[in-house]
A and B are shown apart, each in its own frame.
Chain A
Amino acid sequence: MPIEQNKLEKIITDKFPNSRILVEDLAGDNNHYSVTIESSMFNGLSRIQQHQLVYKSLDGLMDSELHAMQLKTKGTE
């Protein structure tokens, strides 16, 4: 079940304000995305914790609407 790119961007931008966010639709099918987030909210967190924070912010979307998401996260320090 696909999700529109601007909807996904909005969800992430709302949850990670003041961050550098790049959302790319890899296959042009609204179903395979690449998401890069650089945010101070990741500072001090391990890579696993950073990704867990993103998954949590997507609030179950990952299971239902989003099939595939490449994720890259980075703190600002």
Chain B
Amino acid sequence: MNLDENIKNQIEQLIQKNDVFLFMKGNPDFPMCGFSSVASAILKKCGVEFGHCNVLENEEIREGIKAFSNWPTIPQLYIKKEFVGGCDIMKEMAESGELIELFNTRGIKTEIQ
């Protein structure tokens, strides 16, 4: 799929402005999908500040992010502009402690809830 230059710029700005950014369905308080719910709960539990984009409100970003990351599903987590993965990878990393470690090595403040 071709990625529109304008959409690409929008996505790049989002992940540049926010050290931790989650593309999700719904928002962290009202997730609209089980996977997005798990993803935002993991971030909340780590106590990190994170930005989010509700892809249900933006069809262009919804399709664009799939091409941008070469990843067909939502949610998608970015840390310091780097694609970390979707819900399953986040879960594995959270369970093994890798996620907290990643935040720490990237200098992102965590406060485990």
Contact = CB atoms under 8 A, between A and B. Distances in A.
Interface of A: 47-48, 51-52, 55, 60, 62-63, 68-72
B92 interface: yes
B71 A52 contact: yes
B88 A51 contact: yes
- Report, nearest first, the 5 A-B pairs whose CB atoms are least far apart: A62-B72, A71-B88, A55-B72, A47-B89, A48-B85
Contact of A68 (B35, B66, B84): B35
B62 to A, nearest CB: 11
B85 A51 contact: yes
Contact of A52 (B70, B84, B88, B92): B70
Contacts, number: 31
A47 B84 CA distance: 9
B88 A70 contact: yes
B73 interface: yes
A72 B88 contact: yes
A55 B71 contact: yes
Contacts of B87: 70
A51 B83 CA distance: 13
Contacts of B72: 55, 60, 62-63
B79 to A, nearest CB: 12
B28 interface: no
B86 interface: yes
Contacts of A71: 88
A55 B71 CA distance: 8
Nearest to A73: B88
Contacts of B89: 47-48, 51
A55 B83 CA distance: 16
